[in-house]
Structure 1
Amino acid sequence: MTWKEEYKNKLKTFKEAADLIKSNDRVVFEHAAGEPKSLVDAIVANKDAYENVEIVHMVPMGDAKYCDEDMSKHFRHNSLFVGSSTKKAVSEARADFTPTFFYQVPRLFRESLPVDVAIVQVSKPDEHGYVSLGVSVDYTKAACQLAKTVIAQVNKYMPRTLGESFLHVSEIDCFVECDEPIYELPNPKIGEIEREIGKYCASLINDGDTLQLGIGAIPDAVLSFLTEKKDLGIHSEMFSDGVVDLYNKGVINNKKKTTNKGKMVAAFLMGTRKLYDFVDDNPEVIMMPVDYVNNPVVIMQEDNIVSINSCIQVDLMGQVVSESIGETQISGVGGQVDFVRGASMAKNGRSIIAMPSTVKGKFSKIVPVIDEKAAVTTSRCDVDYIVTEYGIAHLRGKTLRERSKALIAIAHPDFRDELIKEHNKKFKDDFSL
């Protein structure tokens, strides 16, 4: 049987595909922008056929109707990274949250969360019968390899990315065809605060460095200040449109990388169609599983790697809170700690935690003590640089007293007196600015 015949035999309607899921199955959705919208909608519409189906994924991009209150009999969401459409269900204990480092998610599927069904979105088959997972390889490839059943939505809008993104038609149990634009992440608005933070972060980046960047206005602001740099590289769990601009200007060429020289390496992608068209069949971009990209042992081999991430709160000891407000889970660890630790072990590696100094001018993000019940994401022993719009605090190797002073110096002026008071009380000091 040829692959084309096999593909045709496996082609089903959305209803037939949804019926392959059984009550009590654990179902893993493709990550982030790779989430197959129409296939997920078909599963939700088929709810009466299920009881207690566990849905597992990280960043949600859809509306997560399976988390609605009237779905509790049919679905139970197990979040590995809470998003805007799932946080209400998690906070109300109608959904669960599993803490994990991003690079260890494939291991969870092997050891702790065996996968019954993988729900993915792929490019159209090439002439050899291979489809690409496109914008999401990360844990998605492992889920497909470990699942008892793999159901794929075939979509001409999914880019054909290279690297380890491919599955053969023979490795997939069911196909549904639906051409629809994949999820996009609009370019964020960069304000004056983000520009100041970006400028400070950029001052810590040298020619020839390799970058890991998160999502949002601050990473994009950093990129905007790198136009005069040379020979930058990318080894990042994800990247977005700003990287494309620097590549087109010749700033990013990956020539100085220690590993995968000449290649941008990522586990997933989130951006606009501009990004997706750029990576389509692009040999200079390789998509790899997250247990490779985010593995600290791999990251440490990349000389001069600079990790840039954000957070919610930092206390005067340098403890970083990035995933919860008090006990309310609003995101997850993601790859922050993976890269902080990998960069700390790399030759000339640096990790930066960047944030505005306040929450809309009302609350300081630099605090004497983190909020009660908040989860510490990056420990005080792991932290390196903290950056706000008021400057840079280099904490590694500093005493608690020195850290406290350095952080107060980059806090918002409206809150420095209160922080100084707490510092002097704790350290029996007479510090002032």
Structure 2
Amino acid sequence: MTRYFSQIEACIDQVIAHVGPHIVLGIPLGIGKPNPFVNALYRRVKAHPAYSLRIITALSLEKPKGHSELENRFVGPFVERVFGDYPDLDYVMDRRAGQLPPNVEVLEFFLKTGDYLDNPDAQQNYLYSNYTHVARDMMLQNVNVLAQEVAVEGSGDTLMLSLSSNPDVTLDVMDMLAAEPSRQVLTVAVINHKLPFMPNEARIHPDRFEFVVDDPAGTHDLFAPPNMKVSLQDYAIGLYASSLVKDGGTLQIGIGSLGDAIAHSLILRDQQNDSYCRIVQQLYDGKPQQGIELGRFEQGLYGCSEMFVNGFMKLIDAGIVRRQVFDDVDLQRLINQGKLSQTVSPATLAVLRDEGIIQNQLTERDVAWLKHFGIFNDQTSWHDGSLSVPIGRLSGNLAHPANFDKICQYCLGSQLKQGIFMHGGFFLGPRDFYQRLRDLDADTLGHIGMSRISFINRIFGHEELVGAQRRDARFINTTMLVTLLGAASSDSLESGQVVSGVGGQYNFVAMAHLLPDARSILMLRASRTRHGKLMSNIVWNYGQTTIPRHLRDIVITEYGLADLRGQSDSECIKRLLAVADSRFQAPLLAQAKKNGKIAHDYEIPESQQHNLPDTLESRLRPWRQQGLLPDFPFGTDFTDDELVIVKALRKLKAATENPLELVGTVVKSLFGEGDVPEKYLERMGLEEVDSLKLRLIRRLFVGNLG
């Protein structure tokens, strides 16, 4: 029997009464956490040393903060406007400050990228796990409370809940609990009325939870990271990746500027195909490439990604992500073969009969199946061995021509139903993404299937169905480093310090090698600057591996793509050198020769020795000037004035990483401010300053506005 609470604190009382003072709390990653509930429980345990709390989760999000007084002056008003009343998690702030109480542990399987490198507690309590193993690992950690933020629809007897952004792990845990009824895990749903209500598998009856909380304190704005600027470097990578996506295929991408670059490139390919082809051909330097896809999307794509991001929403709105898949292997197979289409006709019924999917003499099961997929209309039902339709009764005999015609006349629907063109495990994005989900019409929303991660991130247990649905899959992920032999490091430093997490990357890479026509695509920028020093992201060797070299496939940098599948080690080295930053090609080649992995007389072709930022700039800058490669293809939460200020803050931050440059900046600022629009000073609260420190901060800011 589900118990309902109107106050979070009253629910906390009953949680402790139900499971005792030692709580192991499982909560979703990202925005599916019921933050007010978690904070109340954390405070309760913190105040009682005899209690204990272990939290198992991932991606504990917090509102952005500046790293200096100047940055805080910018970030404060922006956060207030964009993040609204989103409540930070108390355990996150205490852990950052090194002040977690001794009776609280936090175990995360994915960290906010780069944020916890110097945090001993986060590093020591990192749970290294594939996303598909998280539900299992929660159970191994003896979770006894599972709490989730949910959306709501209806009221009273019609009340329904939705797991909304996070059915990913919750559905898997619930399956495990159903299979092991002796395990006592208290399930708690906390309603957030601002959370989009997602249908299909995410739609869940309240009785699946033991406690349901509808406290006004549980409703708050969602964490909404703004779109980031897409650089020309990002666009180059995104354009290369987009040229590998096959019409009628399957797509997985991630969040951030690279994901936006891919999505925008695909839209460009479909809507401005001539311009797209010219840009891509220029990137490829006019050389013909085998296996490159440049055509428009006549069939459309199916999205299948652990993360449903804003880029996918833009692809849906553009009519590119529209290829529907169905939860039946026979139906999906016939669609793939072109024997069935979305439109229902007498031929649909004939094909299903001839293929043995339904019987010549329809059964009750056949009729239910036909109605489920919209092949029969809602006015048709099975009754006492025959078909009941508005005009009366019909025989279910499909072999009799006249009866077949009558069935077609009175029973057929118009379009297949239950089709999904976007499967996702969780979602996260900017404010307009959430609003778009809230505003979607019921039909479009019905084609989006938020689902369990065990379905999305792996094929085991449903191999035939997944193989039929995920045809021509392109699983596109980001990595930090790639070795010349094709291994990739995406989550940890050589020291063992965790940057983020493996998440589902390994799952998708392995899946690409299991599905016959799928490819794994790993993207990375060819180089990076750290503490003022330029470094290559293609290296000879590295002490941490996320993707082993035997799973190497396609690697993309801003200088091209390297197809490594089925290639020898020496050929792999040649292809990766061809897309490496040219400033590092010679030493990388020398290391390969020193270790005997490439012929001593091999030389990098002259045509591959121009992988430099200026070369890339010259190729893509004209297209940016024409507006085809905009800084923010999907808009931004920053105002025009804030974008100017962000540029100034970035210049100043870059100077702080270079002592000589910083000295020059400081000296320059001492010789006057020059003319600067007052609006920038007002936005930063620096229009009137009355201390030496603030005067210097103001001058440093103004000095970088140019």
Task: State if a TM-score over 0.5 links the two structures.
Answer: yes
User: For structure 1, which segment, 12-21 or 328-337, has the greater mean C-alpha deviation from structure 2 after superposition?
Assistant: 12-21
CA distance in 2, matches of 1:182, 1:141: 22
Q: Which has the larger helix fraction?
A: 2
Query: Is contact 1:300-1:344 (8 Å) kept?
Result: no
Alignment of 1:218-229 (within 5 A): 218-227=258-267, 228=270, 229=296
Could you say if the C-alpha distance between residues 207 and 120 of structure 1 is closer, same or farther in structure 2, counting changes exceeding 3 Å?
A: same
Shift of residue 94, structure 1, vs aligned partner: 7.0
Instruction: Give the structure 2 partner of residue 45 of structure 1.
Output: 43
Structure 2 unpaired stretches of 5+: 63-88, 178-183, 271-295, 327-331, 334-417, 605-706
- Tell which deviates more after alignment, 349-358 or 93-102: 93-102
Does residue 285 of structure 1 match 2:421? Answer: no
| Pair 1:161 & 2:191 matched | no
Residue 179 of structure 1 aligns with an amino acid whose one-letter code is: T
Once the two structures are overlaid, the 10-residue window that deviates more, 112-121 or 255-264, is: 255-264
Q: Percent identity?
A: 24
RMSD value over aligned CA atoms? 2.4
State the SS of the aligned residue for 1:200.
Answer: helix
Distance in 2 (CA, whole Å) between partners of 1:269 and 1:181 is 15
* In 2, Cα distance between equivalents of 1:295 and 1:432: 41
Pair 1:150 & 2:187 matched: yes
Closer, same or farther in 2 for the Cα pair 1:168/1:85, shift >3 Å?
farther
Check conservation: 1:66, 1:77, Cα contact below 8 A: no
Q: Which ranges in structure 1 are unaligned for 5 or more consecutive residues?
A: 1-5
Aligned: 1:362 with 2:361: no
The Cα of 1:284 is off from its aligned counterpart by 1.0
Q: Counterpart amino acid of 2:602?
A: F
> 1 or 2, which has the higher strand percentage?
1
**Structure 1 residues 165 and 95: CA distance shift in structure 2, 3 A:** farther
- Partners of 2:57 and 2:227 lie apart in 1 by 24
3-state SS of the aligned residue for 2:446? Answer: coil
C-alpha deviation, 1:69, in angstroms: 2.5
Partner amino acid for 1:362?
Answer: L
Cα offset, 1:423, TM superposition: 1.6
Residue from 4, 15, 20 that aligns with 1:10: 4
Q: Contact 2:56 / 2:138 at 8 angstroms: preserved in 1?
A: no
Distance of aligned partners of 1:88 and 1:415 in 2 relative to their CA distance in 1, 3 Å threshold: closer
Correspondence for 2:431: 273
Alpha-carbon distance in structure 2 between the residues aligned to 1:224 and 1:421: 38
Match of 1:25 in 2: 23
The answer to whether structure 1 residue 247 and structure 2 residue 276 are counterparts is: no
CA distance in structure 2 between the aligned counterparts of 1:114 and 1:86, rounded to whole angstroms? 28
| Distance change (3 Å), C-alpha of 1:100 and 1:349 | same
In the alignment, the residues of structure 2 paired with residue 414 and residue 318 of structure 1 have an alpha-carbon distance, to the nearest angstrom, of 20
Q: Give 1:157 shift.
A: 0.6
Equivalent pairs, count: 423
Q: Secondary structure at the match of 1:225?
A: helix
Structure 1 residues 212 and 101: alpha-carbon distance in aligned structure 2, compared to 1, 3 A threshold: same
Corresponding position: 1:419 with 2:588: yes
Matches within 5 A, 1:180-219: 180-219=220-259
Paired residue for 1:429?
600
- Tell me how far 1:23 sits from its aligned partner: 3.7
Counterpart for residue 350 of structure 1: 519
Match of 1:340 in 2: 509
Deviation digits for residues 250-284 of structure 1 (CA, Å, limit 9, x no counterpart): 11112478588542111111112332234445101
How far does residue 407 in structure 1 lie from its aligned partner after superposition? 0.8
Amino acid aligned to 1:185: P
Residues in 1 aligned to 2:527 and 2:560: alpha-carbon distance in whole angstroms: 14
Q: 1:12 Cα shift?
A: 4.3
Given the superposition, is the C-alpha separation of residues 121 and 83 from structure 1 closer, same or farther in structure 2, using an over 3 Å criterion?
Answer: same
Deviation at 1:66, TM superposition (A): 5.3
Partners of 2:133 and 2:7 lie apart in 1 by: 34
Code of the residue aligned with 2:311 in structure 1: it is G
Once the two structures are superposed, residues 296-329 of structure 1 have per-residue CA deviations (whole angstroms, 9 ceiling, x without a partner) of 3355441111000011111111111000112111
Deviations 1:80-104 (A, max 9, x none): 1122597258644675122221122
Contact 2:309 2:429 survives alignment (8 Å): yes
Q: TM-score of the superposition, structure 2-length normalised?
A: 0.57
Further displaced range: 272-281 or 321-330 = 272-281
Moved more, 258-267 or 395-404: 258-267
**Rounded Cα–Cα distance in structure 2 between residues aligned with 1:310 and 1:272:** 20
**Which is worse superposed, 154-163 or 32-41?**
32-41
Structure 1 contact 240–271 (Cα < 8 Å) conserved: yes
* 159 and 129 in structure 1: CA distance in 2 versus 1, 3 angstrom threshold: same
Read off the aligned partner of 1:311 and give its amino acid letter. Answer: T
Asked if the contact 2:561/2:579 (under 8 Å) is kept, the reply is yes
Q: 1:144: Cα distance to partner?
A: 5.2
Q: Aligned-pair distance for 1:188? A: 2.2
Residue matched to 1:3: none
1:313 to 481, 488, 491: 481
| Deviation of 1:189 (Å) | 1.6
